[in-house]
């Protein structure tokens, strides 16, 4: 079994040593738990893809301790500096041009000339990267396509012995992954994935965001079709619920009739709903039910990210050839 460490100074030092030795370390961020390896270590990065069963064309996010570390391997233009000043540390990933000659594993970037980078706000994540002294590549610490982990127990259950160490700092506070903005083209800013920073706050600083370009390479995580998915079928925008279904409710008036009900936020708070989303999906997925029905959730603010995750989770699985 993977070893779970308390996320204190001693545990963080042990985890940093493990990263330096090429081991995989799961650690908390404010969004979800990540599965980390040093960005320069090809063998360790390859182990991430193997542990997650992740497609190799899906790039990883590099976590930096601060803006100076990020600027050591990526080009930040004026727009990136403005967003970094406002939202780093925090749940914002910027896709930026990769600097020439930096020893970032091509598996981190999926062989592209761009790299996704963020400075996490969680103090354990930042201290771990600082102690390591190098950026740490870390996708979510779960099997690819499944529900993202927001506790150390989720990581241990999903990945088991494929992860060497897990730093346990309790539940994640934001609960949905970082917002991803592509600034790799000078005249364009694209929202690749809604997340912990709402679109409106970003557009207030750099102007309108375009959508992800159709076709071409995958420039960031979170762009594949079916993703964040429980094993049970997911039914969205539910107006009624059957007796053999579970209900993921929202607001003060949950639908009646479900076998089991969990409410993302009885008071209709989107921040609370985002923090509860993945943990509640996991709990309902473990219930003896045919499917999971989901009540409508507003799309403004963090609701855009919540609905994005639910939409991808509800897509049918691709048939096995």
Q: How confident is the model at residue 225 (pLDDT cuts 50, 70, 90)?
A: low
| pLDDT score of 321 more than 60 | no
3-211: CATH topology is DHBP synthase (3.90.870)
Q: Pairing mode, if any, of strands 190-193 and 179-182?
A: antiparallel
Return the pLDDT at 217.
72
More confident residue, 224 or 24: 24
pLDDT of residue 164: 96
Residue 207, phi then psi, degrees to nearest 5: 90, -175
Name which of 51, 264, 227 is nearest 146 in CA terms: 227
- Within the chain, what is the greatest distance between any pair of CA atoms? 60
What is the C-alpha to C-alpha distance for residues 143 and 57, in angstroms, rounded to an integer? 16
Q: Per-residue confidence at 126, pLDDT binned at 50, 70, 90?
A: very high
Give the model confidence (pLDDT) of 240-260 as tens digits: 999 999 999 999 999 999 999
* pLDDT tens-digit map of 56-66: 888 999 999 99
Average pLDDT, stretch 206-227? Answer: 78
- Assigned token pair, 113: 């000339």
Mean pLDDT over 252-276 rounds to 97
213: pLDDT confidence band, cut at 50, 70 and 90? confident
Q: What percentage of the chain has pLDDT greater than the value 70?
A: 95
What kind of fold does domain 234-314 have according to CATH? Rossmann fold (3.40.50)
**Domain boundaries of the chain, sorted by first residue:** 3-211, 234-314
Give pTM, 2 decimals: 0.92
């Amino acid at each position: 079994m993977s070893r779970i460490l308390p996320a204190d100074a001693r545990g963080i030092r042990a985890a940093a040593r493990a990263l330096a030795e090429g081991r995989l370390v799961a650690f908390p961020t404010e969004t979800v738990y990540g599965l980390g390896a040093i960005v320069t270590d090809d063998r360790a990065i390859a182990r991430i893809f193997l542990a997650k069963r992740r497609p190799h064309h899906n790039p990883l996010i590099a976590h930096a301790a601060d803006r100076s570390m990020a600027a050591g391997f990526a080009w930040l233009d004026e727009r990136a500096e403005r967003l970094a000043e406002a939202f780093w540390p925090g749940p914002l990933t910027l896709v930026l041009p990769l600097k020439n000659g930096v020893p970032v594993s091509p598996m981190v970037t999926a062989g592209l000339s761009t790299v996704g980078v963020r400075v996490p706000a969680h103090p354990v994540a930042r201290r771990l990267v600082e102690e390591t002294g190098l950026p740490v590549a870390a996708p979510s610490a779960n099997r690819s396509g499944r529900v993202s982990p927001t506790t150390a127990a989720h990581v241990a259950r999903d990945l088991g012995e494929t992860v060497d160490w897990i730093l346990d700092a309790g539940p994640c506070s934001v609960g949905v992954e970082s917002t991803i903005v592509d600034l790799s083209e000078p005249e364009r800013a694209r929202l690749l994935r809604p997340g912990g920073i709402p679109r409106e706050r970003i557009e207030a600083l750099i102007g309108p965001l375009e959508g992800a370009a159709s076709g071409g390479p995958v420039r960031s995580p979170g762009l594949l079709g079916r993703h964040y998915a429980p094993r049970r079928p997911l039914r969205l925008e539910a107006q009624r619920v059957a007796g053999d279904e579970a209900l993921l409710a929202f607001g003060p008036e949950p639908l009646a009739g479900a076998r089991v009900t969990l409410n993302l936020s009885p008071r209709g708070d989107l921040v609370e709903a985002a923090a509860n989303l993945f943990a509640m999906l996991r709990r309902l997925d473990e219930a003896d039910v045919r499917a999971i029905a989901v009540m409508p959730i507003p799309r403004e603010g963090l609701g855009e990210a919540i609905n994005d995750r639910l939409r991808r989770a509800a897509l049918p699985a691709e048939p096995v050839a």
